[in-house]
A and B are shown apart, each in its own frame.
Chain A
Amino acid sequence: MFAGGAALGAVAMMAGERTLLPHSATAGDALVPPHRPRLAPLHPRVDQITDLKVCIRPFRAAGPRLDVERIGDKTIFHNYGHGGSGWSLSWGSANLVVGNVAATLHRKVAVIGCGIVGLTSALTAQRAGFDVTIYTRDLLPHTRSVRANGSWTPDSRIALTQTAGPAFADQWEQMARFSWATYRTYLGLPGAPIMFEDNYILSDKPFDDRPAPPPPAGAPGTMPRATEDFATYESRIRDIVPAVEDIPDAENPFAAPHARRHSLMIYNFGAYGHLLLSEFHQAGGRIVIREFHTPHDLASLPEKAIINCPGYAAREWWRDDSLIPVRGQTAWLPPRPEAPYGLDYRGAALLSKTDGVMIQAVDLDGLGEMTGVGNSFEHPDPAEAARAIGVFADLFARMPMVGG
């Protein structure tokens, strides 16, 4: 048994890797578990920050706005307000909206906005045979979309259960399934625009799997009151999304007593964004840089069918007060391709992506889904970033290693 453990250490050394040892393993009980994860450690530090990105999630209690409105001779197909799920639901949402556009018999379509929702709407419209022009203030790299975390989170602050009602739950499922299937077509490509990575959920206490407590009495209306007001629909698509599994103590490589693992789909913004923009141009799409101030500005566009994807900015541009800001911030450190995994621990999240190691303060103060609700202070908070980085710095500082 000991020899087996030593041999494994030697292999790790030969490969020049520093490998994490299961936290409970000692020389005496070095039984090699069947799937012991071999993970290069990450030692994130504040002095390695390359970027702090702040963003506002465009939250609507009733779920995203997907209705149709007429202004003069224009038909406006809204597609905004996707909360913390805009990336995940983008293709499914675009599919619903473009379905409505297709019924109008127009051939030319204008898309307002080039965030992830606008860009996927434009591509979906092209694939449905439309001639598409995007009108936007900013291209994807400057939009709020690229300030996200960038992983499969299709029901993250997408709606309030009661306000959105059961019809939205069905619509959500349709969007989530369609998005998931479309994302799968972008797997296995050069540059890894979309990929899966192991995500570890760590805890100091045993996981609490009791059903969530009921929401507060009464109807929340447009403003969330508590975490329990937020809709969770993920169980509806359990059949296609990899399940979370418990990691037995002997196989847990982390200095946290409880660990779980799942395969998480992630979006590498650089490669994926570039690919989508190239696809749009290759299919003959045009982009016009333009800012709109009032809905009447649309009268000057040649297209009669318009897909409106301004994200949070709909609050001003379409005077939509139903949008509730939910602030979020990510810190970016240099890429660590030799450590391709993710972590969730003590209210912070880490994802190792091709364009950097992303660390996010998801819920450092135990506020749950209420974290950031009503906060539109889109300005970097270095102290928040330091706290989130500290969670992982502390975790790795406590971990034994072999092979280095």
Chain B
Amino acid sequence: MTMRQAILFTLIALLPGIASARPAAEATHGADLYRAACAMCHGPTLEGNFQTPALTGRFVANWAGAPVAELESYVHRAMPLMAPGTLSPEDTRAIVAFLLQANGLAQGGTIRRVHPS
């Protein structure tokens, strides 16, 4: 419980509510949020580890074809694992925008590559 408080505190302390509407700024904000709330488990470069899934590679295959809203809903419901449901809807959108951008995926709509081959 104290761990949870500590993490929430870190989140709040590091990231005063900078919600941005513009997609590029949103992804940048999302990257900051990712570093503070997610990187400790999923790794600074989304690489994951033996017990935590990477948010690149197979992650793309896992979600390809699903609505972006479904991924947002998952992240909001399930992550960060020790404090699910604590990200605001804006912060959730920003983090997902960052994950899509980092994986070369299109923003909005369905999860797919920016340049389908």
Residues of A within 8 A of B (CB): 53-54, 137, 142, 147, 291, 293-294, 315-316, 319, 374-379
Tell me the dominant secondary structure on chain A's binding face. Answer: loop
Q: Is the C-beta of B4 less than 8 angstroms from some C-beta in chain A?
A: yes
| Residue B1, interface by CB 8 Å | yes
Taking a contact as CB atoms under 8 Å apart, the answer to whether B62 and A374 are in contact is: no
Whether A315 contacts B41 in the complex (CB less than 8 A), given A53-B51, A375-B3, comes out as no
B54 to chain A, nearest CB (A): 12
Q: A53-B51, A142-B51, A147-B51 are in contact. Are A375 and B66 (CB under 8 A)?
A: no
Query: Does A316 contact B41, Cβ atoms closer than 8 Å?
Result: no
Q: Which residues of B contact A147 (CB under 8 A)?
A: 51
Inter-chain CA distance A377–B6, complex, in Å, is 12
Is B74 an interface residue when CB atoms closer than 8 A count as contact? yes
Docked-complex contact A377 and B3, CB < 8 angstroms: yes
Task: State whether B81 touches A376 (Cβ < 8 A).
Answer: yes
Known contacts being A54-B51, A147-B51, A315-B78, is A376 close to B70, with CB within 8 Å? Answer: no
A293 contacts which of B1, B41, B53, B70 (Cβ < 8 Å)?
B70
- Nearest 5 pairs between A and B by C-beta? A377-B82, A291-B62, A316-B78, A377-B3, A376-B82
The closest CB in chain A to the CB of B40 belongs to A379
Judging by beta carbons under 8 Å apart, are A316 and B74 in contact? yes
Interface size class of B (residues with CB under 8 A): 20 to 34
DSSP class of B's interface residues: helix, strand, loop or mixed? helix
Scan B65-94; emit 1 where CB is below 8 A from any A CB, else 0.
010001000100110011010000000000
20 contacts between A and B (CB under 8 A): A54-B51, A293-B63, A293-B66, A316-B74, A316-B77, A319-B77, A374-B1, A375-B3, A375-B82, A376-B81, A376-B84, A377-B3, A377-B7, A377-B81, A377-B82, A378-B41, A378-B52, A378-B82, A379-B41, A379-B82
Q: How far is the CA of A377 from the CA of B78 in the complex (A)?
A: 12
Closest to A291 in B: B62
| Residues of chain B in range 31-66 having any CB-CB distance to chain A below 8 Å | 40-41, 50-53, 62-63, 66
Contact of B50 among A142, A374, A376, A377 (CB under 8 A): A142
Instruction: Determine the residue in chain B with the shortest Cβ distance to A312.
Output: B81
Which A residues lie within 8 Å of B77 (CB)? 316, 319
Residues of chain A within 8 A (CB-CB) of B40 are 379
Report chain A residues within 8 Å CB of B51: 53-54, 142, 147, 378
Other than the given A293-B66, A378-B41, 10 more pairs (CB < 8 A) read A53-B51, A137-B53, A293-B63, A316-B74, A316-B77, A316-B78, A375-B1, A375-B82, A376-B81, A378-B81
Q: How far is the CA of A137 from the CA of B70 in the complex (A)?
A: 18
Shortest Cβ distance from residue A364 to the other chain B in the assembled complex, whole angstroms = 15
Beta-carbon nearest neighbor of B84 in chain A = A376
- Bound complex: CA of A137 vs CA of B51, how far in Å? 12
**Complex CA distance for A253 and B107, rounded to whole angstroms:** 66
Task: Give the Cβ gap from A376 to chain B, nearest Cβ, in Å.
Answer: 5
Question: Are the C-beta atoms of A294 and B81 separated by less than 8 Å?
Answer: no
Closest Cβ–Cβ distance, residue B35 to chain A (whole Å) = 15
